Amino acid sequence: MPINKGQVGHEFVLGSKKELDEHAALMKKFPDMEHDEPYMAHVPAGKQGEIIWTFNRSGEFDFACLLPGHYEAGMVGRIKVVSAGNKATAGR
């Protein structure tokens, strides 16, 4: 569950590196674009968000904050999904 302890809003978007790159480029062109999809959460400062996502295969998956400037500043991370025992870990 993403918790935003900072002073500005962030978003949590799950996707492949390619999708995240494309979406980040789009958001640079249209900074006011708004969307709400099951694979993303918009988290205002001081709030927390929630995503319920079932991974149907193991592997490494990327997530990022795609707000203009944030992605470029390195707000990315990777989720490693392991099939045995339903263990999932998130890290940078």
Q: Which residues bind Cu ion (CB under 5 A)?
A: 10, 65, 67, 70, 75
Residue closer to Cu ion (CB basis): 41 or 67 = 67
Residue closer to Cu ion (CB basis): 47 or 81 = 47
Phi, psi at 41, each rounded to 5°: -135, 135
Q: How far is the CB of 72 from Cu ion (least distance, A)?
A: 10
- Separation between Cα atoms, residue 50 and residue 3, nearest integer Å: 9
Q: What tokens were used for 17?
A: 């590196």
- Separation between Cα atoms, residue 23 and residue 14, nearest integer Å: 11
Residue closer to Cu ion (CB basis): 75 or 79 = 75
Q: How far is the CB of 32 from Cu ion (least distance, A)?
A: 16
